[in-house]
Amino acid sequence: MSFQDIFKSSFLENVNSVSVLDMALAMVLAFGLGLFIFFIYKKTYAGVMYSSTFGVTLIALTMITTLVILAVTSNIVLSLGMVGALSIVRFRTAIKEPLDIAFLFWAIAAGIVLAAGLIPLAVFGSVIIGIILLVFANLKDSSRPFIVVINCDGQNSEKAAMRVLREYAGRCSVKSKTARENAVELTVEIRLRGGNTDFINEIAKLSGVSSAVLVSYNGDYMG
């Protein structure tokens, strides 16, 4: 084995395995699809606090996936080594919103399909997914959920407060009840068909009711 054979490598042979035009086109399209996914995420986000860094992550994830798949498709040996290298990667960041998982998979899938050369499928599929997410995210329930916390002094005032709630709410269910001597704390989930919340003032004026609190509620958080 000569000195040149020691340093001989197939690295330079793989330089032209993917043309510059293909690389540029794939990365530009990946950026465009990532930007589209970011736009849909921003429009459909319904969590407590919006994170702009997660939106930027979706763009980066689409481009990085495209970059990796381009390398994999250009060399079968490299693909086997890359699978082993990526298998040691572990993510520990907690996903706060269930829908965020769908956006992560969407970004990864768009990058894979795009780098595989199926550009119409990547673009058309992303548009269809985006339209579906926009439609379902903008569907609003006719009834709005609320949590009512009532503090009263006994059973009579409790019945009077519940009577008022049933008059105004489409659905009324007791979530918790804490009873102490001459004190009852009642937590009730209600559904309002409109935005009128004047009934809470009426409950607060009832005899024996010391306080009445109304909080908006979507099942995941209060605010």
Give me the pLDDT at residue 36, please: 92
Residue 208 φ/ψ region, left for φ over 0, alpha for ψ in the -120 to 50 degree band, beta for the rest: left
Q: What is the pLDDT along the chain (223 residues), one digit of tens a residue?
A: 454 444 445 544 555 566 778 788 888 999 999 999 999 888 887 666 667 788 888 888 888 888 888 877 766 555 555 555 555 555 566 666 778 888 888 888 888 888 888 888 888 998 999 899 888 876 655 556 788 888 888 788 888 888 888 887 777 888 888 888 778 888 888 877 666 777 888 888 888 888 888 887 655 544 4
Report if residue 222 sits inside a domain.
no
Residue 126 shares a structural domain with residue 169:
no
Report if residue 221 sits inside a domain.
no
Q: pTM of the full predicted structure? A: 0.61
Residue 149 shares a structural domain with residue 211:
yes
Give me the pLDDT at residue 3, please: 45
Report if residue 212 sits inside a domain.
yes
For 109, the enclosing helix (H) or strand (E) is helix 98-115
Residue 129 shares a structural domain with residue 35:
yes
Residue 183 shares a structural domain with residue 154:
yes
Residue 151 shares a structural domain with residue 110:
no
Give me the pLDDT at residue 128, please: 92
Report if residue 223 sits inside a domain.
no
Any bridge partners for residue 177, and if so which?
Answer: 186
Q: Could you tell me the residue range of the domain that residue 68 belongs to?
A: 12-137
> What is the token pair recorded at 160?
């009077």
Report if residue 3 sits inside a domain.
no
Nearest Cα neighbor of 158 from 181, 183, 189 is 183
Domain count for the chain, please give it: 2
Q: 40 and 130 in contact (C-beta within 8 Å)?
A: yes
Residue 208 shares a structural domain with residue 98:
no
Report if residue 7 sits inside a domain.
no
C-alpha–C-alpha distance, residues 203 and 214, integer Å? 11
Boundary of a domain, candidates 92, 120, 137:
137
Chain-centre distance for alpha carbon 56: 14
Give me the pLDDT at residue 16, please: 53
Residue 81 shares a structural domain with residue 157:
no
Residue 52 shares a structural domain with residue 96:
yes
Report if residue 34 sits inside a domain.
yes
Residue 130 shares a structural domain with residue 168:
no
